Amino acid sequence: MFLAHLLGHALGHTRGGQFFNGLMMLFFAAAFPVGCVLGLSAFAWKEYATECNYQRRFGTNWKANYEVEQGSLTRARIKVGVALLGMVVNTLLGVFLYRHLFPALRGIGYATRPPRRRSRRSNRSRAESRS
| Mean pLDDT value across residues 31-37 | 82
Q: What percent of the chain has pLDDT over 90?
A: 38
To 5 degrees, how large is the angle CA 24–CA 30–CA 35? 110
pLDDT score of 91 more than 80 = yes
**Model pTM score:** 0.59
pLDDT surpasses 90 at 13: no
H helix runs in 12-131, sequence order: 18-26, 32-58, 62-69, 73-101, 123-130
pLDDT at position 53 over 80: yes
- Among residues 42, 70, 46, 45, the alpha carbon closest in space to that of 58 is found at 70
| Helix (H) or strand (E) segment spanning residue 7 | helix 2-11
pLDDT at 20: 72
In whole angstroms, what is the distance from residue 66 CA to residue 60 CA? Answer: 11
Average pLDDT, rounded, for the chain: 77
Q: Exposed, middle or buried: residue 69 (CB in 10 Å: 0-12, 13-18, 19+)?
A: exposed
Q: Say whether pLDDT at 111 is over 80.
A: no
pLDDT at residue number 35? 87
